[in-house]
Structure 1
Amino acid sequence: MMTVNEIMLPVQEEIKEFEVRFPDSMKSNVKLLNRVTQFIVKRKGKQMRPLFIFLTAKMLGKVNDNTYDAASLVELLHTASLVHDDVVDDASERRGFFSANALWRNKIAVLVGDFMLSRVLLLSIERKNVELLEIVARAVREMSEGELLQIEKARSLDITEEVYFEVIRKKTASLISTCCEVGAVSVERQDMALLMREFGELVGLAFQIKDDIFDYGTPDNIGKPTGNDIREQKMTLPIIYALSTTDKETKRELLNIVRNHNDSSKHIRRAIDIVIQAGGIDYAHKRMMEIKEKALQLLTTIPDSAPKQALIGLVEYTTLRTK
């Protein structure tokens, strides 16, 4: 498996340039707003979304100002969604640091998220990137629908595998799909936009399944509490599979834990054991690998290059990562 540094190598200069440009897209005359946005930007993660955009663009053409604009639009959207999610979830931490809402209260955090969404609109209009705005706006709609669909189904715990995939397609895969599509469009490869959108969607599905599998590992190698999804009553693929294959008594026990004992470490451990014994982890891993291979198959018609190999490496990384 390629390392993150190896994956970044073909676009490392573009990523460096983006890290200079992106903070400018959020500048304001309001000092408080600048203070909060600077705090958020300094604690950003592995730059996965810009990586997908720049690797796609460089694989299909030549990175240009439109590509940098596309990366800024997507990162503004993603960052706004994280800020709003922390408010909704009443989360006090984000990647081991205090969240914006923990430091500045919910009202300020929500307004900062709103400001970032407004910058998506204004940057698109200022640069006359209506085509990019349309793609990003679609992602906003789908991410919102995915969150609400998940909340709706969590109340009744009746989610099927089909609904699960619809939830993660909208909630997670839509953003990675957007990255790959805008990467193609930014270098005027509209002929490849639909293929790259499908590629990104499949990668996003695989990414989320991997994330769901992590919930059944150990806290020291996944970065979040074991059984966190069960605590939050999220019906992920491993547990959906277990519920569909176990006997009625075990199914009742598992549902009872999720519904009534999701704050008990002892009961959560029992639920994890049930899911593992039922083959839920193995099944989820198998589905993830099938989806990953389907995604990689879409790239076979594209000429080989360093950016293409790095993009393949990035897909492998999303499914083989240990945290």
Structure 2
Amino acid sequence: MQLARETIGTELNRFEEIFNDAMKSDVALLNRIMQDISAHKGKQMRPMFVLLCAQLGGTINDSSYRAALLVELLHTASLVHDDMVDDSMKRRGAFSVNALWKNRIAVMVGDHLFTKGVLLSLDNSDFKILNIYSAAIRQMIEGELLQMTKTNKLSFEEKDYYELINAKTASFLAAACAAGASSTFDDETSIRQLHDFGQKVGMAFQLKDDLFDYGKTNIGKPTGNDIKERKVTLPLIYTLQHCDPVLRKKLLHIVKYQHTDKDKVNYVVEEVNKSGGLQYAEEKMMTYRDEAFQLLYTFPASPARTALEELVRYTTDREY
């Protein structure tokens, strides 16, 4: 992501100031929690996508910064709520909000961040940007509910998997790209193209995440974690669709009834590795990446386009 940071370095510094200012509060407890969250923020890839997509269409402006701030506030709110729902004690190597201040406060902190983001758009009449993000949030919530349904009634259909990761992950990155574009582009065609570009990148990003679960590298979560949580991802779906009936029955039994047994989970991971499931999922990931490039290359060559290309490659080449 070095090229992206160099291309919009000044703008990212400005965004950092805006973000830190937005995280301040006159309520002492809330201010303390906001400072803790700010100190352990992630790579801020979504704001980078927002600002670079904006730069494709012209000069980054106040509306662009608000679009970047809104995506980061909404994303942070979702992480606070996710940690509470999952009863997760850590986030990016630090204690989560719910671990330090319990669930009740975590709910209110997430709600505060969400509301702050919405008011930011309303106060500045950024109705188009708010509409773009609202549609994505609806998809994300529907995706979460869909996943809960699939966990109770496991689906091993490839189309269901794509539908799920599009709703849960890709829709939000698509919204970030479209929101950035809407701050500088006048034509709906360009905004739509960048929305679709973000959707393809988001699909590739989630496929990469799901591949990690069957890999051997240390990525900060246990290998086989998805199986333990009964999350059916593409490498396993491919294996179940192409293995012999005896092995399929055995794997299904483990996923449904023995998913907390470490040795059994490791067995599933090994079989997925042997079956070609990883290679198949990786090929699909690269297909989505290449489709993202095709959309990106419809725009004239520029430093912003080159930086976006680097960000796309990062999503598929990263090691964690």
TM beyond 0.5 = yes
CA distance in 2, matches of 1:156, 1:219: 31
- What is the aligned counterpart of 1:200 among 198, 203, 220? 198
TM-score w.r.t. structure 2 length?
0.97
CA distance in 2, matches of 1:251, 1:282: 19
TM-score w.r.t. structure 1 length?
0.96
1:53 alignment partner, SS class:
helix
In the alignment, is residue 217 of structure 1 matched against residue 208 of structure 2? no
CA distance in 1, matches of 2:314, 2:4: 9
Deviation per residue, 1:11-36 (Å, 9 max, x gap): 11111111110122233321111111
| Preserved contact between residue 202 and residue 294 of structure 1 (Cα < 8 Å) | yes
> For residues 138-149 of structure 1, what are the structure 2 equivalents within 5 Å?
138-149=135-146
Structure 2 residue runs without a partner (length 5+): none
Alignment RMSD (CA, Å): 1.1
In the alignment, is residue 271 of structure 1 matched against residue 265 of structure 2? no
> For residues 1-323 of structure 1, what are the structure 2 equivalents within 5 Å?
4-191=1-188, 192-220=190-218, 222-323=219-320
Deviation per residue, 1:94-150 (Å, 9 max, x gap): 111111100000100110000111112211111111111101111111111111111
Which stretch of the first structure deviates more once superposed, 26-35 or 132-141?
26-35
CA distance in 2, matches of 1:186, 1:24: 22
Deviation per residue, 1:133-181 (Å, 9 max, x gap): 1011111111111111111111111241101101100100011101110
What is the identity, as a one-letter code, of the residue corresponding to 1:164?
Y
CA distance in 2, matches of 1:317, 1:103: 33
Give 1:219 deviation, angstroms: 4.5
CA distance in 1, matches of 2:76, 2:233: 24
Give 1:278 deviation, angstroms: 1.4
What is the identity, as a one-letter code, of the residue corresponding to 2:220?
G
Deviation per residue, 1:197-239 (Å, 9 max, x gap): 000000000000000000011252x221100101111000100
| Preserved contact between residue 206 and residue 289 of structure 1 (Cα < 8 Å) | yes
What is the identity, as a one-letter code, of the residue corresponding to 1:206?
A
CA distance in 1, matches of 2:192, 2:305: 17
Give 1:315 deviation, angstroms: 0.3
CA distance in 2, matches of 1:147, 1:73: 21
| Preserved contact between residue 52 and residue 183 of structure 1 (Cα < 8 Å) | yes
